[in-house]
Structure 1
Amino acid sequence: MKLIDHRNLPDTCMVKLTDKFRTKLFANLTANRLAEIFPNSASSFKYYKRGASFIPIDLFKQLLTLHSFGDSEINQSVLEIKKRLCGKPIKIKLPICASADLSELAGHTFGDGHISKAGRFVYVNTSKELIERVIHLTNKIFNNSIYRDYRKRKDGSISIHYPSALGELLHVCGCVKGNKFKQDFDVPAWIKSGNHEVKSGFIRALFDDEGTVSSTRIAINMAKSMELKWSLRKFFISLIELLTCLNIRSGNVVVCARRKNKNGTTAIGLLFVICGLEELRKFLDKIGFLHSAKQKKLKTLVNSVIQPNYHDGEAREIILNSMTGLMSTKDISKIIKRGMVNTRYHLKLLEEEGKLKKVVIHKSKWLWQLKDKSEKQVTSPI
Structure 2
Amino acid sequence: MTVFGVDAVQSAGTGELVVGAKDIVTPLARELARERGVTIVVASAHPPSSPVTANQSLPPAPVAVAPVFARPSSNGSQSPPAPLKPPAPALYRRGAPLHPAVAPAALHEPRTRRPELPSAAKSVGRVVVVGAGHVGMITAMKLAEANIIEEVVLVDIAEGLAAGIALDLTHSTALLGFDTKVRGVTSLAEAGAAEFVVITAGRARQPGMSRTDLVEVNAGIVGALARDAAGISPHTVLLVVTNPLDEMTHHAWRASGLPANRVIGMAGVLDSSRFQALTGLAIDSSPSSVRALALGSHGDEMVIPLSQARVGGTTITDAIPQAEVTALVDRARNSGAEVVGLLKSGSAFFAPGASAARMVLAMATNSDEIIAATVCANGQYGIADGYVGLPARLGRTGLREIVELPLSADELASVRTAAARIAERVADLEQMAAPA
TM-score by length of 1: 0.24
- Tell which structure's C-alpha radius of gyration is larger: 2
